[in-house]
Amino acid sequence: MSVLGWRVAVGSDDAGFEYKTRILSDLDEDSRVGLVVDLGVRANEHTAYPHVASAAGRLIQTNQADRALLICGTGLGMAIAANKLQRVRAVTAHDSYSVERSVLSNNAQVLCIGQRVIGLEVARRLVREWLGYQFDPDSPSAAKIAAIEDDLA
């Protein structure tokens, strides 16, 4: 997290546009968030999810964003596409425990959710919870994350 708060990239395809629009407002109002980057799509735009996920992953790779939130129909395609980039750890999570462990155990920087899978209020809550977690580099999970990164180098 930067000194000013989380720098969060947010993107969706057209299947996640409604949730993205609402959650962007939540992020703008959250005091833990210092910067929000909207990667699209925009109204009446049709961008394939791999392009949005790749753009978010590049911001993570280049340290221009601390976290990314990606929304599509299921959250699965976004996670697959984002994980193609080295040193990007993206997960699909639709429950509180998975969101917690994605950060605390796996140091995942990218959360992917599915607009067609969970309700809007659940999605909003999960994003609020996600912002409250920070990976502890001294935790027992740190060695596992290092092993993942070493294997990708």
Residues identified as active-site: 72
Cα separations (Å) of 103 from 37, 43, 66, 116, 125? 20, 31, 12, 23, 16
CA dist 147 and 151 (Å) reads 6
- Is residue 97 a contact partner of residue 79, using CB atoms and an 8 Å limit? no
- Is residue 54 a contact partner of residue 82, using CB atoms and an 8 Å limit? yes
CA dist 12 and 125 (Å) reads 18
Tell me whether the omega of the peptide bond preceding residue 127 falls within 30 degrees of 0, making it cis.
no
